[in-house]
Structure 1
Amino acid sequence: MDRTEITSLDELVEVVGVPIPHVAKKQRPRLDPVDVQWISHSPFLLISTSAADGSCDVSPKGDPRGFVQVLDDRTLAVPERPGNRRVDGYRNVLSNPHVGLIFLVPGRNDTLRVNGTARLVRDAPYFDDMVVKGHRPVLALEVDVAEVFYHCAKAFLRSDLWKPETWEPDALPPRAAIAAALERPDMTRAELDRYYGPEYATRLYQDSMPQPS
């Protein structure tokens, strides 16, 4: 492949330039009341982590809006619900506590970034405030805030992410077909169709994985 690689910071700056002063210094060390309000309206975030060896993970987390608890202006907690049990991000946190979070609010093109260090908590009094449909979280990721700032809207505007008229979900194979081809050779397509069918949404807070019959 014929390419010209960037291998130094000087080369990178030559290509992209330098940020204007207010952008370069926009990060803050604690949550502002506006940030707390944003988090209270966010039903979805992405958590980035990396292991001690540098391998990386980004995990989506979602629940009713406001599911992330702001414990104070330097600490927040993200509940964990039953999932596939890989817990790649949590494994990373045990060896490297540095994390990055991006909070999304549907319909908003800007996003909130929080960087900090994290720890895993198996129980705490605030777990009672994280109950959804009768289910307490199985653990929580507590994050000590180091940096807070907002990303501008350009990525969302370029992608038309929130415009339904641009969506083409049926252009891709359904989830059951992907699982059959790549993940669950032990299950039939009919079994996977049933598992990922209408009842899938009723099991969101149950600790269950599809098993072959």
Structure 2
Amino acid sequence: MDPDTLLPDAPPAPDALEAYRSPSKRVLDKEIGLLDHHCRTFIGLSPFATLATASAEGWPDVSPRGGAPGFVHVLDEHRLALPDRLGNNRIDSLRNLGANPRAALMFFVPGFDETLRVYGTTTVVAPGELDVDLTEFGKPPLSVLVLQVEKAYFQCPKSVMRSGLWDPERRVDRSAYPTFGAVLRDHCRDTTIPADDAVMRAALAEEL
């Protein structure tokens, strides 16, 4: 089926939903409209999050974001500041937010099976507009995404438990897959890209 023929707001087929039970009161009650002290502490421990946005046409995008624990700054119980640092310069997320300011963040803490989901409406500002030191790796961010929190809730641990994400015994040896450089050489059809992982990582480390 051509994905362009699918309506972005088309509901799932009714038959596909019959296997699901109704959510419990506890599952519904855990959604709150602000960042309580548990949310703020979790964000302060988190070195990694995913940022979900959507284009004006409804095409979704998920972007990984990382830094030192607490790299996403809690400004108050209703606002988060996510520094945007040098990446691949596609700026897909920022372009999406220019057309559709709604976004979602999912926070991970290494060793924790639960995750935190935060939804809201965003604005993109210059780093100097906030009275917060956003310097990391000796560099200021290029811009800052400020998210006005509309809802937040903790995701149950089941998916991370199933995946064994933090289990050292389930860690995949890097030799099981080509280096990132080798993959890019194939994807881009560019033999000038170094296949040596150490060379690639050294170049990336200079831009952190």
- Alignment TM class, shorter chain as reference: 0.7 to 0.9
Contact 1:99 1:117 in 2 (8 A): yes
Q: Aligned-pair distance for 1:204?
A: 3.3
Shift of 1:123: 2.7
Contact 2:127-2:140 at 8 Å conserved across structures: no
Give the aligned CA root-mean-square deviation in angstroms: 2.2
C-alpha separation between the residues in 2 aligned to 1:194 and 1:46? 26
Q: How many residues align?
A: 199
Q: How does 1:168-183 map to 2 (within 5 A)?
A: 168=172, 169-183=174-188
Distance 2:171 2:137 in 1: 30
- Alpha-carbon separation, structure 1, partners of 2:197 and 2:113: 34
Q: TM-score, normalised by structure 2?
A: 0.87
* Equivalent of 1:167 in 171, 183, 189: 171
Q: CA deviation at 1:124?
A: 3.1
Does the aligned pair in 1 maintain the 2:127–2:134 contact within 8 Å?
Answer: no
Please give the residue correspondences for 1:96-175 in structure 2 after superposition, counting only pairs within 5 Å.
Answer: 96-126=100-130, 128-168=132-172, 169-175=174-180
Structure 2 unaligned spans of 5+: 2-9
Aligned mates of 2:48, 2:37 — CA distance in 1:
19
**CA pair 204-114 structure 1, distance change in 2 beyond 3 A:** same
1:204 is matched with: 207
Aligned mate of 1:42, from 40, 46, 55: 46
2:123 and 2:147 in contact (8 A); partners too: yes
Ranges of 4+ aligned residues in structure 1 off by more than 6 Å: none
In structure 2, the residue corresponding to 1:147 is in which secondary structure?
strand
Larger mean CA deviation between 154-163 and 19-28 belongs to 19-28
C-alpha separation between the residues in 2 aligned to 1:20 and 1:111? 19
Whole-Å separation in 1 of the counterparts to 2:14 and 2:177: 41
Kept after mapping to 1: 8 A contact 2:181/2:193:
no
Unaligned runs of 5+ in 1: 206-213
- CA 1:69–1:184: 2 relative to 1, 3 Å: farther
Closer, same or farther: CA 133–17 of 1 in aligned 2, 3 Å = same
- For 2:185 and 2:103, the matched residues in 1 are separated by 33
Distance of 2:72 and 2:189 partners within structure 1: 32
What is the CA-CA distance between 1:193 and the residue it aligns to?
5.0
The answer for the alignment partner of 1:73 in structure 2 is 77
